[in-house]
């Protein structure tokens, strides 16, 4: 069944694409869009052919944040004090991208503002267009940041840089975003090619090993070195027994690209 607020597909290489598709509203977030993002995540997670997910916005923006009319309506309906991040909220629906079992790339093709930037932080990697702007603008609207912004941002750029962005609500450009580690790569007119190349590089790797690696990285900061070594040992032992590992070794010896099947 087609989606109303997003576009979704998985190509023959295993590259899934989730595109926010409200360009007339700069891809502003609504509960309906969030529900569709969650459904797309579930489709990726049940599709063994999917190897990487690319998340972007239609038109000239990545995401302008929560639709202000939807935000005000939902905030007014909340009676439990949970705010927009409460159980079942559309903030949580959008952050379901963090539960993707394959690596994810936020292709920040245009401005990512407020919750739109928080959405991008839910991905594993970020590529930003050189003309795009990003910012945690919540306080400029008179509201506290949400959607995991105060959790994700300090872990990504450090507490000092995060405090600067959160307290000021200012916008930053792609060059600064790259310099502080907010994004992994910046591209210009070749933006689609850069994103596509990164996705293809991930999709070409052994999918079982990549999925196991994502699990290892997910809680890595919470583990001691000894715990990390144990996690790695178990994952490596599992992948050593796969047909993909045998194919990787054979390809190396035969000096050819590997053909991984995910088994």
pLDDT one-digit tens code per residue, 167-209: 999 999 999 999 999 999 999 999 999 999 999 999 999 999 9
Tell me the pLDDT of the chain averaged across its residues: 91
Distance in angstroms (rounded) separating the CA atoms of residues 15 and 49: 9
pLDDT given for residue 68 in this prediction: 76
The rounded percent of the chain whose pLDDT value lies above 70 is: 92
H helices of 13-148, in order, are: 31-45, 68-77, 90-94, 115-121
Neighbours of 225 (CB within 10 A): 7
Asked if pLDDT for residue 3 goes beyond 80, the answer is yes
pLDDT given for residue 84 in this prediction: 54
Q: Please tell me the pTM assigned to this model.
A: 0.91
pLDDT given for residue 2 in this prediction: 82
pLDDT given for residue 79 in this prediction: 46
Asked if pLDDT for residue 158 goes beyond 50, the answer is yes
Predicted confidence band at 220 (pLDDT cuts at 50, 70, 90)?
confident
CATH code of 6-203, in short, is: 3.90.226.10
């Amino acid at each position: 069944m087609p989606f109303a607020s997003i576009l979704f597909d998985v190509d023959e290489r295993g590259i899934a694409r989730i595109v926010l598709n409200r360009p007339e509203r700069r891809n502003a977030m609504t509960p309906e869009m969030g529900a569709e993002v969650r459904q797309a995540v579930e489709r990726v997670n049940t599709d063994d052919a999917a190897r990487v997910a690319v998340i972007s916005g239609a038109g000239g923006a990545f995401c302008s944040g929560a639709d202000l009319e939807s935000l005000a309506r939902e905030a007014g309906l909340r009676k439990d004090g949970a705010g927009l991040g409460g159980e079942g909220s559309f903030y949580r629906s959008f952050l379901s991208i963090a539960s993707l079992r394959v690596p994810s790339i936020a292709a920040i093709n245009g401005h990512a503002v407020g919750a739109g930037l928080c959405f991008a932080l839910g991905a594993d990697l970020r590529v930003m267009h050189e003309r795009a702007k990003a910012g945690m603008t919540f306080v400029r609207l008179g509201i506290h940041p949400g959607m995991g912004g105060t959790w994700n941002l300090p872990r990504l750029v450090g507490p000092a840089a995060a405090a600067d962005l959160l307290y000021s609500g200012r916008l930053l450009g792609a060059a600064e975003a790259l310099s502080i580690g907010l994004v992994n790569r910046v591209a210009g007119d070749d933006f689609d090619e850069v994103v596509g190349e990164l996705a293809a590089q991930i999709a070409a790797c052994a999918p079982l090993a990549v999925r196991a690696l994502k699990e290892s990285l997910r809680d890595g900061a919470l583990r001691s070195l000894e715990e990390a070594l144990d996690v790695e040992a178990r994952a490596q032992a599992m992948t050593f027994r796969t047909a993909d590992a045998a194919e990787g070794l054979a390809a190396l010896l035969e000096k050819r690209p590997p053909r991984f099947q995910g088994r």
